[in-house]
């Protein structure tokens, strides 16, 4: 299962966060299963429901945040847990280890 990783999410304004979740809620082709804030990364990690169109969700969310140049939207292919850390494997094979 893939996830959508939104880097610098915690730095955006409260209004933009509200607008983002309204935007996501309006879409019929994808729905959120869960979301997690990664405080040490200032990021939001989103998991979609199985019947969601992942490619459309990724493209739509990336387009939504294009106006904010500090926010990056990426795909996480795998999340692994090892000892006291999470390992994120991105679609470009970049690996990021986050201490828990």
Q: What is the CATH number of domain 3-99?
A: 3.30.70
Q: What are phi and psi of 36, to 5 degrees?
A: -135, 135
pLDDT tens digit string along 4-36? 999 999 999 999 999 999 999 999 999 999 999
User: Residue 67 has what pLDDT?
Assistant: 83
The residues that bridge with 75 in the sheet, in sequence order, are 4
Report the predicted TM-score, pTM, of the whole model to 2 decimal places.
0.91
Residue with tokens 């969310």: 61
State the pLDDT confidence band at 45, using cuts at 50, 70 and 90: very high
Q: What are phi and psi of 88, to 5 degrees?
A: -100, 125
Chain centroid to Cα 52, Å, comes to 14
For residue 50, which of 65, 34, 37 has the smallest C-alpha distance? 34
Mean pLDDT of the chain: 94
Q: What's the angle, vertex CA 53, arms to CA 91 and CA 71, rounded to 5?
A: 50
């Amino acid at each position: 299962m893939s996830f959508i990783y939104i880097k610098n999410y915690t730095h955006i304004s409260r209004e933009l966060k509200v607008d983002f979740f309204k935007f996501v809620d309006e879409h019929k082709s994808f729905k959120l299963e869960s979301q997690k804030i990664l405080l040490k990364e200032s990021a939001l990690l989103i998991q979609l429901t199985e019947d969601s169109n992942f490619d459309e969700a990724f493209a739509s969310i990336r387009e939504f945040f294009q106006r904010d140049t500090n926010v990056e939207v990426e795909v996480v292919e795998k999340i692994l847990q090892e000892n006291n850390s999470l390992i994120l494997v991105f679609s470009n094979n970049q690996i990021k280890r986050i201490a828990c």
